[in-house]
Amino acid sequence: MKKMTTLGKVFDRVDDLSKNCTDKLIKVNDISFNGLESVNINGDSHRLRTMAQRSIAYRLGIPFQYLRRCPQEVQAYNMNYWMPKERNEELFFRFDGDEVRAIFTLKYTPVDNFELMERLDAMGYEPETKVQCHLDPEFMALSILDEHKRFQVNGERMTPGISISNSEVGLASLSISAFVLRLVCTNGLVSRKEISASYRHVSTKILNEFPEVISKVSRELGIQRHQLMLSVDSKVDDQQSTFERFNKQFQLNQMEREAVEWAWPHEAGDTMFNVINAYTRAAQFEGLPAESSYKLQRVGGDILDMLG
């Protein structure tokens, strides 16, 4: 899911993705590996998804990229050698059906997307509420629009709101940020001023403080409106070198860079407003993971914040 939709449809998609998801505490002594692709738990084999591969490699202290290059038997030897040295007696496994989607220590308390949707429902957000959503099994970015606070910049209509991002498999912590949607092409820009530092996945405290957190983030919208106006007057003489600098600064991967190249002809111009919109439009690039789409929206917000 990567489009303008309604909160009710997002709820249905989240519910569908979570149907076969379960969590289990697994004793370390019951774990062995066939290689990086699969794990044996009490003799039963389970496929390891990429995030689970990354998380167990980290737990074992084996560089993931090195492990990927090894033959399967070398992978199994390394992983089975280091597994008994794990400090914890049990590990927290997240399953989707028979596949392992993530592995954590017992300190990890997940915030599931279904919990977030239930909390929004309890706060009075209606199923018909318009939202922008980037959602896949690893990451969700949900932006809720406030159509009563629309404004214009450079003759274009903008709709502010809040953006909630979350990963059930450890890609990122739960965070809430200010959000602005450019209506002409549904580009979305996410503020860099987020509420997340105090809410890593070690507690569900943020769920209990949702109304206060959302109110705090909403106060950032006036600042974003002012910065967007500044971006229209900020000239950019060498757009190519500007993109190269920002791509490097924000560590865009190859596919994300290709997305920006695809977006630029749609937004070409000589101001920072054009550059920022190239990054936010790039989030719509076909085939991008939800996390990358959200990252590009955040890059747009980061660049905007540089304007003071």
Domain contains 105 = no
Q: What is the pLDDT along the chain (308 residues), one digit of tens a residue?
A: 557 899 999 999 999 999 999 999 999 999 999 999 999 999 899 999 999 999 999 999 999 999 999 999 999 999 999 999 999 999 999 999 999 999 999 888 788 999 999 989 988 889 999 898 999 999 999 988 887 777 788 787 888 888 888 999 988 888 888 788 775 556 676 765 555 434 455 445 666 666 776 666 666 666 677 788 888 889 999 999 999 999 999 999 999 999 999 999 999 999 999 999 999 999 989 999 999 998 999 898 889 888 86
Q: Are residues 200 and 157 in the same domain?
A: yes
Domain contains 101 = no
**Which segments within 49-201 are labelled E, that is strand?**
90-96, 99-104, 130-136, 139-145, 151-153, 156-166, 175-182, 187-195
What is the Cα Rg of the chain in Å? 21
Task: Give the list of residues 6+ apart from residue 63 with CB closer than 8 angstroms, or none.
Answer: 57
Q: What is residue 205's predicted lDDT score, i.e. its pLDDT?
A: 63
Q: What is residue 194's predicted lDDT score, i.e. its pLDDT?
A: 52
Q: How many angstroms separate the CA atoms of 40 and 222, rounded?
A: 53
Q: Are residues 38 and 170 in the same domain?
A: no
Q: What is residue 171's predicted lDDT score, i.e. its pLDDT?
A: 86
Q: How many angstroms separate the CA atoms of 71 and 80, rounded?
A: 14
Q: Are residues 123 and 210 in the same domain?
A: yes
Q: Are residues 35 and 121 in the same domain?
A: no
DSSP single-letter state for residue 282? H
Q: Are residues 188 and 252 in the same domain?
A: yes
Domain boundary among 62, 96, 130: 96
Task: Give the list of residues 6+ apart from residue 293 with CB closer than 8 angstroms, or none.
Answer: 2, 134, 141, 283, 284, 285
Q: Are residues 153 and 30 in the same domain?
A: no
Domain boundary among 49, 70, 96: 96
Domain of 39 in residue numbering reads as 23-96
Quick count: other Cβ atoms within 10 Å of Cβ 154? 16
Q: Are residues 90 and 121 in the same domain?
A: no
Nearest to 103 by CA among 58, 66, 44: 58
Bridge partner residues of 23 (DSSP): 94
Q: Are residues 38 and 160 in the same domain?
A: no
Q: Are residues 158 and 253 in the same domain?
A: yes
Domain contains 273 = yes
Q: Are residues 139 and 184 in the same domain?
A: yes
Q: How many angstroms separate the CA atoms of 75 and 37, rounded?
A: 9
Q: What is residue 202's predicted lDDT score, i.e. its pLDDT?
A: 47
Quick count: other Cβ atoms within 10 Å of Cβ 252? 21
Q: What is residue 173's predicted lDDT score, i.e. its pLDDT?
A: 80
Domain contains 196 = yes
**Number of domains making up the chain:** 2
Contact criterion met (CB below 8 Å) for 296 and 283: yes
Q: Are residues 204 and 296 in the same domain?
A: yes
Would you say the pTM of this structure is higher than 0.85?
no
Please count the residues of the chain: 308
Domain boundary among 96, 122, 145: 96
